[in-house]
Amino acid sequence: MNYELKIAWLYPDLMSTYGDRGNVIILQKRCQFRGIEVNIENITLETPLSKLKSCSLVFMGGAQDRQQKIVSLDFLKKKSYAVSEMINIGIPALFVCAAYQFAGHYYRPYQGDDIPGAGIFDLITEHQGNQAKRLTGNVAAELVNPSGLNGKTIVGFENHGGRTKLGAKTKPLAKVLKGYGNNGSDGYEGAVYKNAIGSYFHGPILPKNPHLADWLIAKALEVKYKEKAYLKPLDDALENQAHNFMLKKLVHRSVWGIDRKSMLG
Ligand code: GLN
């Protein structure tokens, strides 16, 4: 059977400040390496809703407060309801940083009014103003959700002023091992709701965390074709080398969170 996936890339022209387009490239390549046909639908301010609804995987990247204000009206008025419906039927999504903030109840920017969110995740985000430091730097965390990935580690780079607080209805993505994560105080990073993942990890997040990319691809195939997806393993030597290099550098651990000492005996 010839499998095909259509990936909705939300606001590629506005929500791509931190190189998150690399995530779309990884999803595309990891599908193509497996013979899965991939089409990327650039969902801009002008794109009709029908194009978005025809997709099987949703991605939206990070941006500065200014672009967030531009996008917010269109996202809230035209697209967020459709994205919520897609997620509620299990379609996987990855929201990074500003997009992650948009997927909550609201984002309070550094200046100006609150930007209402899609309410996909039960969370709020508030910028602490010019006095508060930006949460910036390399970051490592251990996944606690979704099931099937818990225990594995993720590495990336974060750069956000907003502090995110999860509500009772949303599970965290990971436990911070090094860095700040959602707010620099509760020890958690990101959020998971059904097959939607929110994260502050730039880098971009997927190249050094191929297990996350494959999880998204598998979920997209399963929802579209209504059957369990078995992805052919790829040669991830380089990806794992990059992952473990950062893990060792940040938390002196390697190989998916196994402590070096326990490895070396
Ligand atoms: N503008 C938002 C903040 O500063 C999001 C930044 C981002 O997407 N990296 O928190």
Give Cα 106 distance to the centre of its chain. Answer: 18
**Quick check: bond before 116 cis, omega within 30?**
no
The number of the ligand 1 atom at minimal distance from the alpha carbon of 134 is 4
Which residue among the candidates 31, 55, 127, 202 is catalytic per the annotation?
202
Whether 62 lines ligand 1, by a CB cut-off of 6 Å, is: yes
Q: Are 145 and 161 in contact (CB under 8 A)?
A: no
The model's pLDDT over 70-81, given as tens digits with 9 standing for 90+, comes to 999 999 999 999
- Within 10 angstroms of residue 3's Cβ, the number of other Cβ atoms is 16
- 21-32 and 210-225 are packed helices; what angle lies between their axes, rounded to 10 degrees? 60
Task: Give the C-alpha separation, 254 to 252, whole Å.
Answer: 7
Q: Quick check: pTM over 0.85?
A: yes
Distance between CA atoms of 24 and 107, rounded to whole angstroms?
A: 24
**Segment 84-142, tens digit of pLDDT:** 999 999 999 999 999 999 999 999 998 889 999 999 999 999 998 777 899 999 999 99
- For residues 126, 127, 133, 139, the Cα torsion angle rounded to the nearest 10 degrees is 60
The answer to the question of whether 134 is labelled as a binding residue is yes
Domains of the chain: 4-262 (3.40.50.880)
Provide Rg for the chain, Cα atoms.
Answer: 18
Q: What is the pLDDT along the chain (265 residues), one digit of tens a residue?
A: 899 999 999 999 999 989 999 999 999 999 999 999 999 999 999 999 999 999 999 999 999 989 999 999 999 999 999 999 999 999 999 999 999 999 999 999 988 899 999 999 999 999 987 778 999 999 999 999 999 999 999 999 999 999 999 999 999 999 999 999 999 999 999 999 999 999 999 999 999 999 999 999 999 999 999 999 999 999 999 999 999 999 999 998 655 544 444 434 4
Q: Is 161 in the pocket of ligand 1 (CB under 6 A)?
A: yes
* Atom number in ligand 1 closest to CA 65: 1
